[in-house]
């Protein structure tokens, strides 16, 4: 396994280089001159020249690209155009609030969706299966803004169960402000995840080994949780890893509407302010998370499924 991981890490180097090249081209060539967006259309030539020299935009493109690669290696993405703060420090400050929201929401979503997926897969074709499929489609059809506005107006404003918006740095009080965003996150995610897990688990329930286990007299709970769930972990792990970058990035809308100072809200503010260094840094971080998440997924495949070999 160590040799496999080392080989995959070596293979990740050209992938990271290619992603860095694509991101650099998008932000530095296709995006146009950022100095004009920072200074506005009334800036004179002297101001533009001074700002381009300050941020290194007057350097050749290959020099700017290698400087960007250096930023990735050192995790030092410079300063924000809007706030003038170090971007790395902004990311570190935003991780805590984002994870406070994302980790509980991710945990409850995964546990609930897998459990409901097992339930409806077992009762396939019956009324509970049809009801859950209808509810999932209905839940996926509604806009996320509808859930947010419903929660803020009825649950927070009318009933007073939760704060409408805001964030508290102290831990005992922090969860009161993230409770409703967590609930909304779970409700938003259940529709897609339950349908995905239902399909994946249905394929396992119809396998011959399940009929053999039942013929041997094993209870349904043991068949479902020991055999079906274990053999269905490969697609489950795949879906879980795809969602892992959201744990760091958070949710744009939830953090924005509820005033949570996390990475999602920071990225949304950067988009509104055309703060390209912050957007480029967050795009890079998310891409790296996907690369190393895929590596972790392949390793976990071999742990949950002995049929998978690492070569």
For the record, the structure tokens of 61 come out as 């493109």
Predicted pLDDT at 162: 84
Predicted pLDDT at 262: 82
Q: Looking at domain 96-304, what is its CATH homologous superfamily?
A: MetI-like (1.10.3720.10)
Predicted pLDDT at 250: 57
Residues 6+ apart with CB under 8 A from 24: 64, 65, 68
Write the pLDDT tens digit of every residue in 142-176. Answer: 777 888 888 888 888 888 888 888 777 777 777 88
Residue ranges of the chain assigned to CATH 1.10.3720.10? 96-304
Low-confidence ranges of the chain (pLDDT < 50): none
Predicted pLDDT at 308: 59
């Amino acid at each position: 396994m160590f040799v496999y991981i080392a080989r995959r890490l070596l293979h990740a180097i050209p992938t990271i280089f290619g992603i860095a090249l694509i991101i650099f081209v998008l932000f530095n060539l296709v995006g146009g001159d950022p100095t004009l967006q920072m200074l506005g259309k009334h800036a004179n030539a002297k101001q533009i020249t001074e700002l381009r020299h300050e941020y290194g935009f007057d350097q050749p493109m290959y020099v700017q690209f290698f400087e960007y690669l250096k930023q990735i290696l050192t995790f030092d993405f410079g300063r924000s155009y809007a706030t003038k703060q170090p971007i790395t420090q902004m990311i570190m400050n935003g991780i805590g609030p984002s994870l406070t929201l994302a980790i509980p929401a991710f945990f409850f979503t995964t546990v609930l969706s897998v459990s409901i997926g097992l339930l409806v897969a077992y009762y396939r074709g019956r009324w509970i299966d049809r009801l859950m499929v209808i509810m999932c489609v209905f839940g996926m059809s509604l806009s996320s803004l509808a859930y947010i506005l419903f929660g803020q107006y009825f649950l927070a404003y009318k009933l007073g169960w939760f704060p409408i918006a805001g964030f508290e740095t102290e831990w005992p009080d922090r969860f009161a402000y993230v409770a409703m965003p967590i609930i909304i996150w779970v409700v938003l995610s259940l529709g897609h995840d339950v349908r995905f897990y239902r399909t994946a688990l249905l394929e396992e329930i119809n396998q011959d080994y399940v009929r053999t286990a039942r013929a041997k007299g094993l209870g349904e709970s043991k068949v479902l949780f020991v055999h079906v769930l274990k053999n269905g972990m490969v697609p489950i792990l795949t879906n879980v890893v795809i969602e892992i970058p959201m744990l760091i990035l958070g949710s744009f809308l939830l953090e924005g509407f509820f005033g949570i100072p996390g990475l999602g809200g920071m990225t949304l503010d950067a988009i509104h302010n055309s703060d390209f260094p912050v957007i480029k840094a967050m795009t890079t971080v998310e891409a790296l998370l996907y690369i190393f998440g895929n590596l972790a997924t392949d390793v976990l495949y071999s742990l949950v499924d002995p049929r998978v070999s690492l070569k």
